[in-house]
């Protein structure tokens, strides 16, 4: 099962590094640190989403 993409402003379900993905699903090689329970910041461009790429150990 693949991890769901999260929209900016959604609450972070798991702490870790979240990659920014384009509208077609391509990884843009930009990451932000997400802390469980906090919200994700706005993306650089509309239509982009976040996906967990490295969970905090």
Please name the residue that has the structure tokens 């990451």.
Answer: 31
13-48 confidence digits (pLDDT tens): 999 999 999 999 899 999 999 999 999 999 989 999
Whole-model pTM: value is 0.87
Q: Strand runs (DSSP E) across the chain, as ranges? A: 16-21, 27-34, 49-55
3-21 confidence digits (pLDDT tens): 789 999 999 999 999 999 9
Cα 21 to the center of its chain, rounded Å: 8
Which tokens go with 20?
Answer: 């920014």
């Amino acid at each position: 099962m693949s991890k769901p993409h999260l929209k900016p402003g959604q609450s972070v379900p798991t702490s870790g590094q979240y990659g920014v993905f384009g509208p077609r699903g391509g990884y843009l090689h930009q990451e932000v640190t997400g802390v469980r329970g906090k919200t994700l910041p706005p993306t650089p461009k509309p239509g982009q989403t976040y996906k967990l790429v490295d969970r905090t150990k």
